[in-house]
């Protein structure tokens, strides 16, 4: 599987605040934000519910990947999406193991396993709140 997901019983903005805080509590930050909803509206005049693609990063893990294999930066950061589904928000995290598994480096594979554990912790905390 390429992703791990959950549904939060929160509207999008409240879910984003909760996800952002939980990521920060686990040493992950949001380093990029692609507002798909705005892009579709501006480029195609198509209205869709809130949908964002975020990049989550832990700089120390990213440094280990890039130091081990400089071109593996193309596989970073760990992306996740948040999308509005009625009055709830779906959050789906990319599984870093299959993505970073494209590398031949054992260090990159070790980072992938560590990043996956971090994301699993984030998901568990989001589910328990």
User: Can you give the pTM of this predicted structure?
Assistant: 0.94
Find the helix packing angle between 59-68 and 106-128, rounded to 10°.
160
Encode pLDDT of 43-84 as tens digits: 999 999 999 999 999 999 999 999 999 999 999 999 999 999
Provide the pLDDT for residue 1: 81
Provide the pLDDT for residue 114: 97
> What is the residue range of 56's domain?
3-128
Provide the pLDDT for residue 31: 97
Indicate which CATH number applies to the domain containing 85: 3.30.310.70
In sequence order, the 6+-apart residues with CB closer than 8 A to the CB of 105 are: 68, 69, 72
Provide the pLDDT for residue 9: 98
When divided into structural domains, the chain yields a total of 1
């Amino acid at each position: 599987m390429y992703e791990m997901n959950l549904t939060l019983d929160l509207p999008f903005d409240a879910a984003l605040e909760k996800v952002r805080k939980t990521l920060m509590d686990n040493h992950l930050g949001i380093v990029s934000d692609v507002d798909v909803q705005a892009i579709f509206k501006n480029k195609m005049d198509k209205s869709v519910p809130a949908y964002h693609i975020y990049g989550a990063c832990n700089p120390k893990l990213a440094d280990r990947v890039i130091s081990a294999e400089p071109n593996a930066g193309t596989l970073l950061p760990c992306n996740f999406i948040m999308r509005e589904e009625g009055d709830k928000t779906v959050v789906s995290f990319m599984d870093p193991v299959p993505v970073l598994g494209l590398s031949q480096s054992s260090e990159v594979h070790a980072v992938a396993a560590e990043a996956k554990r971090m994301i699993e912790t984030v998901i568990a905390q989001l589910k328990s709140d």
